[in-house]
Structure 1
Amino acid sequence: MPTKLLLTGVTGYIGGDIFSVLIEAHPELEYTLIVRNEERANLVREKYPADTNPNVTIKYGTTAPYTTVLEDEASKTDIIVHTAESADDVPSAKAIAAGILRAKDRSPTNPIVWIHLCGTGILQWYDQVHRRIGQPPLPHETYDDIASLPRLLTLPDEALHRDVDKIVLGVNHLTQNVKTAIVAPPTIYGVGRGPVNTISQQLPGIARFILEHGYAPAVAPTGLTEWDNVHISDVSSLFLALVEAAVNPNQRDNPEIFGLAAYYFCENGKPHAWADVSAKLAQEAVELGYLKEVVTKLVGIDEATVKSMGSNSRSVASRARKYLAWETKGPALEPELAGVMETEAKRLAVKKL
């Protein structure tokens, strides 16, 4: 029988791009796509019509709630790729966990594999707890997903996304019939290839702020916070590698690839300071003719459109490179900024000077 794969978030930026890569690489898999309603289902069908994609089934709640459908489908699949608001949606994570626990004909040698999308916003916790808003990173704020694993598994409960991560990790303690992996990307950029949403959040958010306010923001007092970044194509290539590992028993049963240790960062080794990115976006606005000059200002965290600019998030993606031979191949961040600014100017209908 073909391997069954359940994916949430196909209408989203990340999930849509992941699915485009998966179905191109593995059209033989049996895909079930869970969406929120019929309107979204129709948008997906426009790009993936049934007559040319016989292995794709789209489901959504009609008489049953979304989480009920999700739990039921999770109990009947082989691989789960959860990306639909996955980092902070507790009910959906609980539904998936419940589905896994009620699954029939499963065993440690025939487990369900759950690949969960989180984010490196979880690493902002130290600055937020200690009120280090707008400050440069401290040495101990960089986390390596192999060397820092004990710290990652014991992050404080107040860390962003931690409540959902604990649900995913906790399933490993409840049954031996599951293999989990948590993927935590940093700032993602690039145009997605999905059927609906093809743009990210952070960079377009800053571009909109600049166009609406006429200056480049950085969070006070120093504006020297740092994040890592990665192109959307490299995020999807990591998910592809994990799906391929899930159907390979030698890799699936490796505790370094799936299980409690399977925490994956994905960065390209070229971190950015938010103040620099903001200023460069403003420079692009000037060169494109939307602003007269580059003006930068320090703002309070409450004034910043993108709250993640206020805290540091530094990660090292050792696990995927070591165990999955993953490497980044997508374009660097800076050359993408002109396209980000142009896209947001068009979305806002901003006229050139």
Structure 2
Amino acid sequence: MGLKIFLTGATGYIGGTALAYLAKSHPGYEFTLLVRSEEKGKPIKAKYPNAKLLYGGLTDSAVVEQAAAEADVVVHTADSSDNAPGAQAIAKGLARGHSAEKPGYWVHVSGTSILTWFDRQEKRFGEGPVPNQKYHDIDDIDRIVTLPDEAHHRDVDKIVQSAISDAVKVAILCPPTIYGKGSGPVNTRSVQIPNMARIGLKNGVVPIVGAGKTEWDHVHIDDLGDLFVRLVDATQDPSLAGNPEVFGLHGYFFAESGSHRWADVAGWIAEEASRQGFVREARTGSVTQSEVELLEGVSTGSYGQNSKSVAQRAGRYLGWRPKGGSLRDEVARAVSEEAAALGLAPKEKA
């Protein structure tokens, strides 16, 4: 009998990729997948006919709790960083269904917007990072697991951390900006860069917040898929499964392969929109944090805030080495795909 995995978010960008990588690496694993409805589950069932589909949402606590109790490993990606009821149900299920002799494992997805708290607190939008805004996931682990309560995602992180026990082993996977085409059967689109491209194409101006000095880190979706496999594999490795630096309060994994300034990304998008003929002249424009948060399609204020993470843990304990293509190369595809989604055609040259 194969490892039993309960995965949420199979129709999503991150979850669909995690499932694709896990299923390819371990076709003998038993997958239970939470999807919202039978209709939404059709493309999942078509690609993974042997998977068990559960229909419902994260607020269906009894369903989520029971699935977590029955699983060997929970991989939680569906609204995982912000949905408290879902995290509470998983924690309860894992505790009920497991013991110190046979612990359950939880790979939980957070996000590095948790590191933007200082800029929001100080209202320093558009400014570059200061030294104490950089967090290394080994060297600065004590700072990371005690971030202020007002930090984005912190409320759910605390629920996950409080579940840690002899019976429940936890790793939090915390990616930054994710780019590249996902491997799932439904949503293959990331968020931050496509949204910025869409704003530029619709409005004719790509936004830059304030002075345009904010920085984030990034990771290719394929490298993230590989990291999911390595974390699940670690649950079956005796040298890692009981290691609190992998599964425990210190099991907090950043996942980055480089960094970028959002002003540079805005410039690349403007250049690509012009080069591909969707605008006559490449343009960026300065906006305030309040203005960017009101723009259609922007779900967070990330463009005006700094998120600086350094991934040490995945390399040291799991041998993870990111190999994905460059962020700059991704911009051309994002612009062309967003233009197609908007029904835009290249303009005739004057």
TM-score (norm 1): 0.94
Picking from 135, 154, 163, the partner of 1:162 is: 154
Quick check: 2:315–2:321 contact (8 Å CA) kept in 1? yes
Query: Which stretches of structure 1, 4 residues or longer, exceed 6 Å deviation after superposition?
Result: none
Once residues 34 and 271 of structure 1 are traced to their aligned partners in structure 2, the CA distance between those partners, rounded to angstroms, is 33
Quick check: 1:36–1:66 contact (8 Å CA) kept in 2? no
Aligned pairs (5 A) from 1:244-323? 244-268=233-257, 270-304=258-292, 305=295, 306=298, 307-323=301-317
Quick check: 2:119–2:306 contact (8 Å CA) kept in 1? yes
Q: Secondary structure at the match of 2:163?
A: helix
Aligned counterpart, 1:230: 219
Aligned counterpart, 2:201: 211
Give the deviation of 1:303 after TM superposition.
2.0
Once residues 201 and 43 of structure 1 are traced to their aligned partners in structure 2, the CA distance between those partners, rounded to angstroms, is 21
Aligned pairs (5 A) from 1:8-47? 8-47=8-47
Say yes or no: does 1:180 pair with 2:176. no
In structure 1, stretches of 5+ residues that fail to align are none
Coordinate RMSD, CA, aligned? 1.3
Q: Secondary structure at the match of 1:212?
A: helix
Give the deviation of 1:65 after TM superposition.
5.8
Give the deviation of 1:177 after TM superposition.
0.3
Instruction: Output one character per residue of 1:103-153: Cα deviation in whole Å (capped at 9) or x when no partner.
Output: 1xx332420000000000000001001111111000110000000101001
Measured at CA, do residues 181 and 78 of structure 1 come closer, stay the same or move farther in structure 2, by a change above 3 Å? same
Q: Which residue identity does 2:227 align to in structure 1? A: L
Aligned counterpart, 2:118: 126
TM-score (norm 2): 0.95
Say yes or no: does 1:61 pair with 2:50. no
Once residues 191 and 185 of structure 1 are traced to their aligned partners in structure 2, the CA distance between those partners, rounded to angstroms, is 16
Quick check: 2:215–2:260 contact (8 Å CA) kept in 1? yes
Instruction: Output one character per residue of 1:67-112: Cα deviation in whole Å (capped at 9) or x when no partner.
Output: 3211111011100000001010111001101111221xx3324200
Mean CA deviation greater in 303-312 or 70-79: 303-312
Measured at CA, do residues 271 and 28 of structure 1 come closer, stay the same or move farther in structure 2, by a change above 3 Å? same
Give the deviation of 1:233 after TM superposition.
0.4
Give the deviation of 1:61 after TM superposition.
3.4
In structure 2, stretches of 5+ residues that fail to align are none
- Give aligned-pair identity as a percent: 46
Aligned counterpart, 1:2: 2
Mean CA deviation greater in 282-291 or 297-306: 297-306
Q: Which residue identity does 2:86 align to in structure 1? A: S
Picking from 68, 91, 96, the partner of 1:97 is: 91
Give the deviation of 1:293 after TM superposition.
1.2
Quick check: 2:59–2:86 contact (8 Å CA) kept in 1? no
Once residues 196 and 125 of structure 1 are traced to their aligned partners in structure 2, the CA distance between those partners, rounded to angstroms, is 32
Q: Which residue identity does 1:210 align to in structure 2? A: G
Quick check: 1:285–1:291 contact (8 Å CA) kept in 2? yes
Give the deviation of 1:2 after TM superposition.
2.3
Give the deviation of 1:47 after TM superposition.
2.2
Instruction: Output one character per residue of 1:202-253: Cα deviation in whole Å (capped at 9) or x when no partner.
Output: 0010001100111121001x11100000100011111100000011122101
Give the deviation of 1:198 after TM superposition.
0.3
Quick check: 1:60–1:66 contact (8 Å CA) kept in 2? no
Once residues 7 and 61 of structure 1 are traced to their aligned partners in structure 2, the CA distance between those partners, rounded to angstroms, is 13
Picking from 172, 177, 191, the partner of 2:181 is: 191
Quick check: 2:59–2:85 contact (8 Å CA) kept in 1? no
Once residues 88 and 149 of structure 2 are traced to their aligned partners in structure 1, the CA distance between those partners, rounded to angstroms, is 17
Instruction: Output one character per residue of 1:12-47: Cα deviation in whole Å (capped at 9) or x when no partner.
Output: 000001100100000111111111111111121122
Once residues 65 and 206 of structure 1 are traced to their aligned partners in structure 2, the CA distance between those partners, rounded to angstroms, is 31
Give the deviation of 1:59 after TM superposition.
1.0
Once residues 136 and 61 of structure 1 are traced to their aligned partners in structure 2, the CA distance between those partners, rounded to angstroms, is 42
Q: Which residue identity does 1:258 align to in structure 2? A: F
Q: Secondary structure at the match of 1:33?
A: strand
Measured at CA, do residues 301 and 330 of structure 1 come closer, stay the same or move farther in structure 2, by a change above 3 Å? same
